[in-house]
Structure 1
Amino acid sequence: MADGLTIGQAAAYVGITIKTVRHYHRLGLVAEPERDGSGYRRYGSTDLLRLIQVRTLAGAGVPLAEIGDLLDAEPERFAAALDDVHHRLTERIEELIERRDTLHRLSHGDRALLPDRACAVLDRLAGLGFSTDYVAGQREALVLARALVPAVFDSFLTRLEHCLGDPEYVELTKRGWDAKSWDPDDPRVEELASALADKLLANRALLAMPAGFEKQADAASRYGLVNHHRDDLGPSIARLNALIEAHLRAAGIDVPQQ
């Protein structure tokens, strides 16, 4: 002990690796001890103290590039620097907590991409007997609406919530989903579109677009991507949606049109 410790012993005493000690030397954070007569570098208590200080600060999240100046700073500057590190670590912790919560929401499906209110609507659809495929389509439409037309999202949810309270509308909507197997020229498509449009027009206030929405250059494109999502399931679905929009426009409702 009188002659000091080898680098391996010093690293073991401090709780780091030899590679880390050498890295600290390369960065100038810890001075390399002089070699003894045998050509070995021997570490004394002062060297160990410095290694412990560097290891502790690094473990607390202080960037290695800042540790040297920090250890050589006056007490006031040292305290201020630690406050700054504390602030950055707090921000990092908050970011990690947010990521953890996102992962938790991902494990619960819809709740990663949609607010609780929208998830409640989806649960309600399932409870009303809508097919799994239909609920999945509505989930996708809600995700798209929230991302592409956020100004319309809340009103869209309000309209859905209101419509789901009408048993006749619910049955008509279920028929609309079944219509994907119909021929697009089937007269039932026109009849169904007219009935659904009438139901929607019974509450015209719920169909109003937010002020200024249509003035956006790409408003119609964004709205169309949401409102015509899954039209590709079949030509009858596409025609049904187009007919409903035509009925609404004929009744004076401003439906964005590409």
Structure 2
Amino acid sequence: MVNGLTIGQAAAFVGVTVKTVRHYHRLGLVAEPDRDASGYRRYRSGELFRLVQVRTLAAAGVPLAETVDLLDADAETFAVTLESVHHRLTERIEELTARRDRLHRLDHGDRALLPDRACAVLERLAELGFGPDYVSVQREALVLSRALVPEIFDIFLTQLERSLDDPESVELTKRGWEARSWDPDDPRIEELAAAMTDKLLADRALLAMPTEFRNQSDAASRYALVNQHREDESASVVRLNRLVEANLREAGIAVPGQ
């Protein structure tokens, strides 16, 4: 009567290859069973259970070098180690989920680079009648802001959201976009800068930048890269932005220097 499984049958039962079982034997993870009268090693319930344990721990990410000590440890040590493995697996699951979500966002345009909240702002711009060119520039500005000045990205989004809920702000923004075609010395630029400044100062809390951001040595240069985005396309926009910044500083707002 045959009592036990061959190495091939045991490997298939556990879900590994014969080569893997032999590797476990070489590492001392599983003792080799005795040979029967026919010269075959027969795996009985004890060896099979040990193989299942080793296979399960290996699949969970426990290094094989740690498995022997773990399996031979007392119940308390075993429980603590399993909790650590559980924590590592949870982190791995979260990482893989994040990767899956990023891949999913690649099929959804702006969402590959921006959070849903920022995408909603871009959709709102289109609904309010801003043209594709303006929306495209704002998309680039949001991406740059998120990449270069993440410390104030949420502040930037909140400012945009509130301005889009204010018809006067929307009108001022549209005039600012139209100003691209104005002469840099056009007196309307100073008038527009003053109006924009007044609107911004109406809610000073939104203009406050985190102290930790202001204290970073590269804060001004990173801020400038975002704030000066596309300025080279219009000298009038450069003048408009500089006037607004100067007005804000004069009013006591800490705008990062150029």
Distance in 2 separating the partners of 1:95 and 1:58 = 19
Q: Could you tell me the percent identity over the aligned residues?
A: 65
Distance in 1 separating the partners of 2:80 and 2:72 = 13
Q: Gaps (5+ residues) in structure 1?
A: none
The total of aligned residue pairs comes to: 254
CA spacing shift, 1:218–1:73, aligned 2, 3 Å: closer
Aligned to 2:43: 44
Q: Deviations along 1:203-228, whole A, 9 cap, x unmatched?
A: 41446433645444333212211111
CA spacing shift, 1:25–1:201, aligned 2, 3 Å: same
Letter in 2 for 1:209: A
Give me the CA root mean square deviation: 3.6
Distance in 1 separating the partners of 2:56 and 2:100 = 26
Distance in 2 separating the partners of 1:156 and 1:112 = 19
CA spacing shift, 1:12–1:128, aligned 2, 3 Å: same
CA spacing shift, 1:242–1:41, aligned 2, 3 Å: farther
Q: How does 1:63-212 map to 2 (within 5 A)?
A: 63-111=63-111, 113-167=113-167, 169-178=169-178, 180=180, 182=181, 185=183, 187-188=185-186, 191-192=188-189, 194-206=191-203, 208-210=207-209, 212=211
Normalised by the length of structure 2, the TM-score is 0.75
Aligned to 2:55: 55
Deviation, structure 1 residue 128: 0.9
Letter in 2 for 1:30: V
Aligned to 1:226: 226
Deviation, structure 1 residue 123: 2.0
CA spacing shift, 1:172–1:204, aligned 2, 3 Å: closer
Letter in 2 for 1:125: L
CA spacing shift, 1:132–1:67, aligned 2, 3 Å: same
CA spacing shift, 1:28–1:176, aligned 2, 3 Å: same
Letter in 1 for 2:22: R
